[in-house]
Amino acid sequence: MTVGAFLLGIMVILDYVMPLPVDKLYASGTTVVTDRHGEPLRLFADNNGVWRYPVRLDQVSPYYIDALINYEDRWFWNHPGINPFSLLRALYQWIDSGRVVSGGSTLTMQLARIIDPHERSITGKIKQLFRATQLSWHLNRKQILTHYINHAPFGGPFEGVEAASRVYLGKSAQNLSQAEAALLAVLPQAPSRLRPDRHPENAQKARNKVLNRLDRFTVWPAKEIAQARNELVYALQNTTPHHAPLLTRHLKKIDGRSVIHTTLDGDLQALLSRKINDHAHFLPPKTSMALLMVENETMVVHAYRGSADFTNQNRFGHVDMVRAVRSPGSLLKPFLYGLALDDGLIHSHSLLTDAPQDFQGYRPNNFHVGFQGPVSMTKALQNSLNVPAVSILDHIGSIRFSTHLRRAGLRLRFPGDTLPNLALILGGAGTTLEELVPLYAALARDGQVGTLRYLPEQQLIKKPLLSPGAAWIIRRILSSAPTPPGIPERYLPKHQRIAWKTGTSYGYRDAWAIGVTDRYTLGVWVGRPDGVPIPGQYGAITAAPFLFNILQSLPEKALWNSPQPPPETVTQQEICWPLGTAPPTDQNQATTFCHQRHKAWILNGVVPPTLPDRFEKHWISPIRTIAINPDTGRWVPSLCPVRPTRKKNLVRWPTLLHPWLNRTLRQQQSVPRVDHACKQYDTSLSASFKITGLNPDTILRPAGSSTILPPIQLSVLGAIDTIYWLINGKMIKQTEPNTPLTHQFNKSGRFEISAMDAYGHHDTVTITINLE
């Protein structure tokens, strides 16, 4: 057996007995989360507090590889991990001078010391040589060099050239200049003494030493090296990136890779974060805010901010409000109306009733107390009226609507074990900003909900929410809504309109605003993470201004595409109230059936009629045909023998809207007085719901020289439930059946006082007040 074979056998045995601790090379423990361009958003240190940003050789500047190899280990590509000539030279210089003049360690030996540290002794050096030999057996040259550039110490907690380049120079190692490459090549020799942020003079001397050697070996042209020497060493303040901290924390938790590339746009993230930082100063104490912005076409997330200030415990900065379950307030209304459009239940200007109603014991009010009477679907959605939305949900069904949303990707959380109910449309279930934004993005995606994509490799999964036509109509309605109060004109794009909707949860706990442009959807939440109410803070004045501020700060070309026509399924058509259908072609019939005309967006050519009064047990046609005495113009009941008669059609408005109808509309739908010859057949005078306390057309004046009128008291005869009182169409109070209304008139004029209940019973008296 030869000596060589014997030594080889010994090495094999030692390699088995003392395996190479390569786990330290692959199980780094550090995590880097980057934006879409590879710029780090956040670095997570390992258990030892080390920051590292792993890269491949092709992701590092060739200048750095040149400087590193030619300064540290010129024969790296040729020797087996140990350079005996370098070792002998270093030994001779040490004996000759009595001190260490040059090191004999190769890059492989330096990597061996990194993965298996040893004492500075003869025994330690032998161990290092053995580990270097093992590295050369198990890894090729490129693998060894890759591990070195990712594990070399660069001062403080930073290891690897990429981490050092990012922290000290503010750039990727792929973009290093020749001077910067030389600086980072020498820095691991004495990381603490040569740190450019603390000792720039030392760092510059060491860098120039590298440049001198490269000049001597003619690695780079002399002119370029001379220019590199003239560069001053300057380092950024030692700060690590800390963008989107809550999202990066979440991704690190669910993704085990050492480098996680996200879809976030670093520049946009920084811009919106600065705006949140500025805006947070004006928020009440303990209030936070969140933001999520996605690209509609691809559903990639471009910006994510989970709290107002991650480091501020007073604002619960550690709580991610993008993913927190909260009440959405009115934010689900657009999708309810969209589903009703697809069902053929309504069109954009269907006549809806905004009046007191009882839905099996549930009696919703509007956010701003009061009712508006007859409203179109467009107005009901733009003004976020509650009663019309509850009425539509009552027709569609709470369980069906909830199921429809769940199939589209919205997971609603109901309190306890309760089933979906009518309160759902007013915020009676929990959801998240992360789930709501994709729903609104569907309005710009032909009604298709796409899953959010935080990582480039995530697949875009589509789920149907609305038809393209319904999505277009809803977006058109939201984009034509008046802007919230206090929004300056400078916040509005010049040529396009933002489709936007706000929401406010019960008790002013959550304020929302979501806006949709052609290219992006942006959602904003403001509130207290602990759920404490913030009186006076609601979507339109708290979240919406910030939403418009952000969208205004972005270039218009980044928000809008070229205008697109409506889908083929959508047409615009004139419709009539109160029937809700197209006007008759016959002019005489049009006068009778068409009390008001409106332009409506129609889906699939269907013009659905006005929904019937929901409290009626059986459907009653809104068109009533009566007999009229042609001589007197009065009504002839069917049992009355007066002949001949002529037919007259009357069109009835929904019963609950009567208090809001003007005199002309009431006359158009009212049955004329009974003919004198038919009074014994008249059954219309047995009214059971009647205002008492004032007669119609009463004129009230103060007594004597006084200008103050005493309060009036009114009651309702025949009332069996809560009474809603309106003056000139505006609700002023509600009373119980046995409680009179007391009201003080403070100005002159003609006033129409109406009383109604939730079952359609109503009465009206008109009085005149003269305080002069």
Are 20 and 135 in contact, with CB atoms under 8 Å apart?
yes
Are 372 and 385 in contact, with CB atoms under 8 Å apart?
yes
Question: How large is the average pLDDT for residues 608-631?
Answer: 78
Whether residue 493 is predicted with pLDDT greater than 60 in this model: the reply is no
- CA nearest neighbour of 329 among 418, 404, 407, 436: 436
Question: How large is the average pLDDT for residues 616-644?
Answer: 80
Give the whole-angstrom CA distance, residue 593 versus residue 399: 36
Token pair in block for residue 710: 């005493």
Q: Which residues of 648-684 are buried (b: 16+ CB within 10 A; e: fewer)?
A: eebbbbbbbbbbbbeeebeebbeebebbeebeebeee
Q: Which residues are catalytic?
A: 72, 330
Instruction: Provide CB contacts within 8 A for 704, sequence distance 6+.
Output: none
- Which H/E stretch holds residue 733? strand 730-735
Banded model confidence at residue 499, pLDDT cuts 50, 70, 90:
very high
Considering 360-369, 600-609, 726-735, the range whose residues carry the highest mean pLDDT is: 600-609
Q: Which range (390-394, 590-594, 733-737) has the least confidence?
A: 590-594
Residues 375-398: tens digit of each pLDDT = 999 999 999 999 999 999 999 999
Q: Which range (467-476, 517-526, 646-655) has the least confidence?
A: 646-655
Is the link from the previous residue into 644 a cis peptide, with omega within 30 of 0?
Answer: yes
Residues 171-230: tens digit of each pLDDT = 999 999 999 999 999 999 999 999 998 899 999 999 999 999 999 999 999 999 999 999
Q: Please report, rounded to a whole number, the percentage of residues in the chain having pLDDT higher than 70.
A: 89
pTM: 0.83
- For residue 190, count other CB atoms closer than 10 A to its CB: 15
Q: Which range (467-471, 592-596, 604-608, 621-625) has the least confidence?
A: 621-625
Token pair in block for residue 24: 């330290």
Residues 536-576: tens digit of each pLDDT = 888 888 899 999 989 888 887 777 777 778 999 999 999 99
448 phi, psi to nearest 5 deg:
-95, 125
pLDDT the model gives residue 686 = 42
pLDDT the model gives residue 574 = 95
- CA nearest neighbour of 150 among 41, 64, 241: 64
Sign of the Cα torsion 97, 102, 108, 113 reads positive
- CA nearest neighbour of 379 among 663, 600, 651, 566: 600
- CA nearest neighbour of 655 among 615, 715, 688: 615
pLDDT the model gives residue 685 = 43
Give the whole-angstrom CA distance, residue 313 versus residue 322: 17
Could you say which DSSP state residue 318 is in?
Answer: T
SS3 210: helix
Report which of residues 727 and 681 the model is more confident about.
727
- CA nearest neighbour of 387 among 331, 441, 426, 332: 426
Start-to-end Cα distance in the chain: 131
Q: What angle do CA 467, 471, 475 make, to 5 degrees?
A: 175
Whether residue 101 is predicted with pLDDT greater than 60 in this model: the reply is no
Token pair in block for residue 329: 């307030």
Give the whole-angstrom CA distance, residue 164 versus residue 154: 6
